[in-house]
Chain A
Amino acid sequence: MAAVKATPKAEVTIKKDWCKGCGICVHYCPKGVLAMSENLKAEVKNPEECTGCGNCEIYCPDFAVSLRRIQ
């Protein structure tokens, strides 16, 4: 039986062109939604875990992460 997946509260998108790969958003995401990709940029790995806390958006020094509330 598959585990019951949490309903994500928000959708995270990353502007790859603006991301400089500092890793700060990954560090401050409490749920491991974000991870560093092989090309050293942030990527959304576990979107369903997002609680919409907003850390990634306000900690990103490059305005590269944005959140959209899921109704």
Chain B
Amino acid sequence: MSQVKTKLMQGNEACAAGALAAGVCFFAGYPITPSTEIAEQMALHLPRVGGKFIQMEDEIGAMAAVIGASIAGAKALTATSGPGFSLKQENLGYAALTEIPCVVVDVQRLGPSTGNPTAPSQGDVMQARWGTHGDHPIVAFSPSSVKEAFELTVKAVNVSEKYRTPVVLLLDEIVGHMRENVSLPDKVEVVERMKPANRENYLPYKLDQEVTPLIPFGEGEYYHITGLFHDESGFPNLVPELVTKKMDRLMAKINNHKDDLIITDEYALEDAEVVVFTYGASSRSARRAVKEARAQGLRVGMLRTATIWPFPEEKVKAVAEQAKAIVVPEMNMGQLIYEVERVAKGEADVVGVNRYNGEIITPEEILQKVKGLMNGATN
């Protein structure tokens, strides 16, 4: 990757730039704060590269159009925020079951309901996981800087194609609207949609392989796609044994590739007694807090994850075994902390630092919590 362009840009702009770099050639969306700049950027740039942009009548239609375009062969992406993300959920489940690659960007804002459209939040991490009905696999990334918004958008598009799955990109209002000076590569690694080696007797949903290449509509193999449970050919089939096999394969195609999907980074972790587990914009405050704690001679470290789903279980487990306490700062009332508690299994105290009023979590708040824990207090 050669670094050529250095530019002051916004997280939402970087997300759009990442989408274009990854080969996204279709965008359908609906205006919603604080994500709208992504749609505006795509409207501006897509027709210049021969791509297509459409502003749909609502977020439900935008999600549907994205899936429709992907079925026709497009790398397709949509962007929204909390209320719109809720509207997209049914069709997100459709994409999961029918295994249609697509990316949904959710620039999180304070909820529930209209909440505070211009304030940041990390309130949609569980909606990303469980927002649509029924069990299903999902991949979700969450960047904490403008540069990472670019990188993870590329990664999201690549992962969606590689595993034939919808991917959620969880920005938040801070990362989306923040401007940073970033150097972006002029070329990135791009995963193209798999083509089947042998077209004879094409089956779009083979049970004996994790991911079957998806031949787009209009390219020689006409077949059936349905949101009903289906057999290998794609036709409805509700036989319980077949449903079990389909669901097991769906989950396995993600769960067997955690190494490829989970991105984390560590800071001052080696001898840490208290570890801050963090993600998204909150990790910026967390990093500052840990730096300050170290300057004061406290053995504090940080584990940041850029991958929300699948959850980085192994990393968190190792931290729980090493540290006496894990601090989880989140701009919500405590969501991903449940995963940390589940994985820690009581090996370490797990304590949240939470803001759910539209304000960011400051380094001081995290530092205070850390210091309290170092002194033996758990709350």
Chains A and B share a contact (CB less than 8 Å): no
